[in-house]
Amino acid sequence: MKDCSSINIIKNAIKTNKLSHAYLFYGSVGTNVEKPILNAIELILKNKNKEIKISKIEDLNNCYDIQVINTNNKEILKEQFDQKITKLFETSLEKDSIKILYIKNIDLGNKIFLNKLLKFIEEPVENLIILMNTNYLDKVLPTIKSRTQNIFIKKNIKSKIDLVKNIENKNASLIANIFVDDQQINKDNLEIVNDLIEKVVLILEKSLKNIFVIKEELFQLWNKNNSDFILKIIQLFFYQINIKIDDENPLFTNKDKLIIEFKKKNIEFIKIQKLIEKTRNNIKNYANFNLQKINFLNELENEIK
């Protein structure tokens, strides 16, 4: 399902011949901010009579008029940026055609890279359109935000629910919230998530009697591959502890008892939420993974005591 608002912005810009030289697509954590950019690229190329179906980033590999930079690579330097630009214009089959530079996760760009990028944004190159995305708008340089057209992408939870239902109908609305983006939703990951829900909640239930199981058992369960799922399950657990829900909730084996016991502890969900976001950001920014786990579990243990 395409993000209609972002598509309409690009369509209108094409129709009026007013495409901006730089766009920043942003959304909240968990929002798929890549799909709208792929849709935009498809529209821009189609306008130039280049029919190409783009459904995933790998589809861009054979496009001579497109270069992709992923700022997850902390070693991206000015010279590498220059090489991408040079390749973009030298390998294009049509010298006067529109060129597209797609920069993923602009919030992670290092200082050298961002300074070079700013020069291109402030002094636009003819026929070059820069598309960027982020789930952390607050971490993007103000100078980049102010010099680009910002497009907000709404989180489409309905599409995730539908994707889950296509595989497994049970508890689809809850499970869909655990996935960060649509691309994670498949049969294998659904089995992983269902298993993690059962194990994480059992650990949290046991922590009511023995607080040390938080460090012992959750530390062993949590790894780099399931980190997003673990943090999301914990987040939903405490959200639904603080906000009582009448509907059947598969996270709990004994909902009423759990709610009563955790209510007694006066655990503030906002503190848990901030702790989760801090940990997720630190892990995303390549902080020591095991150290982040230890810090998180220590703070979580202190909140539950």
In this predicted structure, what is the pLDDT of residue 247? 47
Q: In terms of domains, do 141 and 268 share one? A: no
Q: How confident is the model at residue 161 (pLDDT cuts 50, 70, 90)?
A: low
Q: What is the mean pLDDT of residues 162-184?
A: 68
Q: Residue 166 pLDDT > 70, yes or no?
A: no
The domain tally of the chain equals: 2
Domain that holds residue 56: 4-152
Task: Write down the pLDDT at residue 180.
Answer: 67
State which H helix or E strand residue 70 sits in: strand 66-70
64 — pLDDT class (breaks 50, 70, 90)? confident
For the whole prediction, is pTM greater than 0.75? no
Q: What is the pLDDT of residues 188-209, one digit of tens each?
A: 888 888 899 889 988 988 888 8
What secondary structure letter does DSSP report for 112? H
Strands (DSSP E) contained in 121-262 are 128-134, 149-152
Choose one of 104, 119, 152: the last residue of a domain.
152
Alpha-carbon distance of 134 to 48, in angstroms, equals: 27
CB 72 within 8 A of CB 103: no
Of 77-81, 134-138, 186-190, 286-290, the least confident: 77-81
Mean pLDDT of 219-225: 94
The predicted-structure confidence for 245-281, as pLDDT tens digits, reads as follows: 444 444 555 566 777 777 787 777 778 888 998 898 8
% of the chain at pLDDT higher than 70: 81
Which pLDDT does position 216 carry in this prediction?
A: 92
Sheet holding 99-104, edge to edge: 66-70, 99-104, 128-134, 22-26, 149-152
Q: Residue 167's pLDDT is what? A: 65
69 shares a domain with 30: yes
Which of 32-46, 76-90, 193-207 is predicted least confidently? Answer: 76-90
Q: Are 45 and 15 within 8 A, CB to CB?
A: no
Neighbours of 237 (CB within 10 A): 22
pLDDT of residue 199: 92
Which tokens belong to 277?
A: 């976001």
Task: Give the span between the Cα atoms of 275 and 231, in whole angstroms.
Answer: 10
Name the DSSP class of 50. -
Does 144 share its domain with 166?
A: no
Does 262 share its domain with 161? yes
Last residue of a domain, one of 128, 152, 176: 152
Torsion of the alpha carbons at 45, 48, 49 and 52, rounded to the nearest 10:
-10
Distance, in Å, from the CA atom of 236 to the CA atom of 175, rounded to the nearest integer, reads 10
262 and 282 both lie in a single domain: yes
The residue from 152, 180, 212 where one domain ends is 152
C-alpha to C-alpha distances, 29 to 24, 114, 280, nearest whole angstrom: 15, 22, 10
For residue 166, the surrounding DSSP H or E stretch is: helix 157-167
Q: Which two tokens stand for residue 92?
A: 């294009």
The CATH number given to whatever domain includes residue 143 is 3.40.50.300
